[in-house]
Amino acid sequence: ISRTWFLSIIQNEFRTGKIDLESTMKLLETLQMSFDFTHVKHVFKKTVDKRKTHTINIEDFRAIYRAIVHRPEFQELFRAYSPNCKFLADTELIEFLRKEQYEAEACETTALEIILKYEPIEEVRKRRQMSFEGFIRYMSSEDCSIFKNNHRTIYQDMNHPLCDYFISSSHNTYLISDQLIGPSDLWGYTSALLKGCRCLEIDCWDGSNNEPVVYHGHTLTSKIPFRSVIQVIDKYAFVASDYPIVLSLENHCSPKQQEIMAEYLESILGDKLLTSTIGDTVVTQLPSPEALKFKILVKNKKVGTIEEGMLRRDLESHGETGEISDLENMTDEDETDEKAPLYPKNDSTKRKSEQKPSAPPRKKAKVKKIKIALALSDLVIYTKSEKFVSFEHSLANQKCYENNSIGEAQARKFVKHSAREFVSHTSRFITRIYPKGTRATSSNYNPQEFWNVGCQMVALNFQTPGLQMELQNGKFLDNGGCGYVLKPEFLRNHNSTFTPHNVGRYSKPMSLSIRLISGHQLPPSNLSKTNKADPLVHIEIYGVPEDQVKKKSSVIKSNALSPRWDETFSFTVQVPELALIRFCVEDEISLVANEFLGQYTLPLLSLSKG
């Protein structure tokens, strides 16, 4: 029956007898399976080389299709549940779903839905059965993805205050290569927004003709008008997610051009721009992502309180400026980490005497008042940039709508020496981490160590591919890819004693077993003239230090089309809520070198059983 079905779909193409490679590829696509051109080309070539022609007949085509699609590992499964090895009745499919896919709730309705969705042969569909063709299509579909289906949509409570979420954040969003001479480009903003990024950085400088520009100051990176950046943000803000966007302004403009910035923000973003509190003017707790849907927030220095600013907005404060003393105002990323404030050491008793509030940076000698245009200052509502002094200082003085930016090197010292205070701080205040200025090539740090202590905005260079961005993308696949992921309870609780290095009572050990069965149509090796590779798989867990582990499979020689491993790996994870799992496929080039072929990273708790 499946042969008749197959021929009925393809015979029209073979009216003239034979078809070439291009037509073969087109015809395969009509069969609604994904085919990799390199592999099809190789199997095609093997078929025609025997005969010195460049075309194939209908039987050759069927052989090529079966060579690629009819995977032995699928056949073994299918036969295990199909008594006649030809069809699965709905009851047999239910048994498969329960036993193999751990779908305890699977029933007749579930089975029929799958049959209707994936069975291509009408006659079989009508009999409420599934052929091997239908089974392959089901097994290759999103429904059988390793990523939990219900995590593809927003399933978390979005009514917690903003500081209770990890927020997808980008650094130097305007760059699309390196930080010294690379191009600044609007595409940086478009692509970050389309990836679900919710915190964008805008470096603003005075431009000619009273037009503020965006670029990496004091370098040769090209300049783009601030106005254009805001237009692009307006256009793409809520394509990937409805939840709020924070514009992190790295502001180097004169008060005059700051006024222009404020005008552009208001005129271009219109109602999307948050210009007043929602609900109470006196802010005792940050609003939730849900309450701020479709809103854009400005993160910048601010003169005075929210209440004063809102009163002033009613009075039209054109041309007025306020002053912020230099210590408060050193822009977040001007100083290198080395000049950052000393951190309170409390890793041993003999140092307790040193626990004074951190010494302010020496720059303070040149006390100069920085002027800030009130028109811009008053657009800052829930995201007021506040210079970080020390954890004690924040605990005593900082308001819930004030947030700090801490450079990676200083933040790393805090993780090492004062993790508990760091966790206490991030449970109350939004904390943004940014890469150190010496990363001229826009390289990234590992975001995991800062997520481990609850930092909400761990800003990465989205333009730089690699492990760090793969972890970022994997983490934010969660919760429907909306850019907000609820932090675990022990990172939200003000009284938490959790630290990543000593998880103690916060451990919820989970045992994980992964059976690596096979690969299919992997990218061939760069060294291969055909479609070959020598693939191996690394399975890695990222999380708190004691959960970090890497295991690797054996190497399968010269097979990228359908390598078969059948190896099992076991892990015990102490803090699954923070763990990510990464599958990385490499091609063994020599005993000492491997070439990257592909990877997939996802939150451990988003892994689907089966």
pLDDT in tens, 413-422: 999 999 999 9
According to the model, what pLDDT value does residue 270 have?
97
Residue 344 has pLDDT above 60, yes or no: no
Question: CA 484: distance to chain centroid?
Answer: 10
Q: Which residues contact 495 (CB under 8 A, 6 or more apart)?
A: none
Over residues 163-176, mean pLDDT? 90
CA distance 242 to 296: 11
Which region among 8-22, 138-152, 372-386, 565-579 has the lowest average model confidence (pLDDT)? 8-22
Q: Which of 34, 59, 29 minimizes the C-alpha distance to 47?
A: 59
Write out the CATH class of domain 507-606.
mainly beta
According to the model, what pLDDT value does residue 541 have?
98
- Strand 402-407 and strand 431-434: the pairing is parallel
User: What's the mean per-residue pLDDT of the chain?
Assistant: 90
According to the model, what pLDDT value does residue 187 have?
84
State the span(s) of the chain assigned CATH 1.10.238.10.
72-144
Residue 569 has pLDDT above 90, yes or no: yes
CA distance 158 to 458: 20
State the span(s) of the chain assigned CATH 3.20.20.190.
162-309+367-491
According to the model, what pLDDT value does residue 331 have?
44
Q: Pick 360 or 26 by higher pLDDT.
A: 26
State the span(s) of the chain assigned CATH 2.60.40.150.
507-606
pLDDT digits (tens, 9 = 90+) for 438-449: 887 888 999 999
Q: Pick 333 or 310 by higher pLDDT.
A: 310
Angle among Cα 87, 92, 95 to the nearest 5 degrees reads 150
CA distance 95 to 23: 40
Residue 472 has pLDDT above 60, yes or no: yes
Which region among 52-66, 336-350, 352-366 has the lowest average model confidence (pLDDT)? 336-350
Tell me the CATH architecture of domain 3-69: Orthogonal Bundle (1.10)
Q: Which CATH number applies to 72-144: 1.10.238.10, 3.30.9.100, 1.10.1040.10, 1.10.357.10? A: 1.10.238.10
Q: Tell me the Cα Rg of the chain.
A: 29
pLDDT digits (tens, 9 = 90+) for 120-168: 999 999 999 999 999 999 999 999 999 999 999 999 999 999 999 999 9
- Could you tell me if residue 279 is left (phi over 0), alpha (psi between -120 and 50 degrees) or otherwise beta? left
20 touches 55 (CB < 8 A)? yes
pLDDT digits (tens, 9 = 90+) for 477-500: 999 999 999 999 999 999 999 999
Question: CA 139: distance to chain centroid?
Answer: 26
Paired with 607 in beta bridges are 147
Neighbours of 349 (CB within 10 A): 7
Examine the residue annotation and report whether 171 is marked as an active-site residue of this protein. Answer: yes
According to the model, what pLDDT value does residue 217 have?
74
pLDDT digits (tens, 9 = 90+) for 449-468: 999 999 999 999 988 889 99
Catalytic residue among 151, 160, 171, 425: 171
Which region among 62-66, 415-419, 435-439, 572-576 has the lowest average model confidence (pLDDT)? 435-439
Kindly state the tokens that stand for 420.
Answer: 């508990």
Kindly list the strands in the beta sheet with 384-385, ordered across the sheet, starting from the edge strand earlier in the chain. Answer: 384-385, 402-407, 431-434, 457-458
Catalytic residue among 39, 42, 151, 216: 216
Examine the residue annotation and report whether 417 is marked as an active-site residue of this protein. Answer: no
Q: Which residues contact 602 (CB under 8 A, 6 or more apart)?
A: 146, 147, 474, 477, 478, 580, 581
According to the model, what pLDDT value does residue 50 have?
79
Confidence of residue 353 (pLDDT cuts 50, 70, 90): very low
Q: Which residues contact 177 (CB under 8 A, 6 or more apart)?
A: 183, 442, 463
Q: Which residues contact 150 (CB under 8 A, 6 or more apart)?
A: none
| Distances in whole angstroms, Cα of residue 487 to Cα of each of 108, 198, 349, 427 | 38, 16, 32, 9
pLDDT digits (tens, 9 = 90+) for 199-240: 999 999 999 999 999 988 777 778 899 999 999 999 999 999
CA distance 575 to 508: 6
Confidence of residue 280 (pLDDT cuts 50, 70, 90): confident
Confidence of residue 2 (pLDDT cuts 50, 70, 90): confident
Per the listing, tokens 């399933």 go with 155
Per the listing, tokens 């295991």 go with 551
Paired with 582 in beta bridges are 540, 601
337 touches 436 (CB < 8 A)? yes
- The pTM score is 0.89
The fold of the 162-309+367-491 domain, in CATH, is: TIM Barrel (3.20.20)
Q: Report the Cα–Cα distance between both ends of the chain, in Å, rounded.
A: 30
CA distance 67 to 63: 6
According to the model, what pLDDT value does residue 368 have?
61
Confidence of residue 338 (pLDDT cuts 50, 70, 90): very low
pLDDT digits (tens, 9 = 90+) for 519-555: 999 999 988 889 999 999 999 999 999 999 999 999 9
According to the model, what pLDDT value does residue 395 have?
96
SS3 44: helix
According to the model, what pLDDT value does residue 340 have?
34
Confidence of residue 180 (pLDDT cuts 50, 70, 90): low
CA distance 511 to 486: 23
> What is the percent of the chain with per-residue pLDDT over 70, rounded to a whole number?
91
| Distances in whole angstroms, Cα of residue 512 to Cα of each of 154, 248, 452, 541, 571 | 25, 39, 21, 11, 5
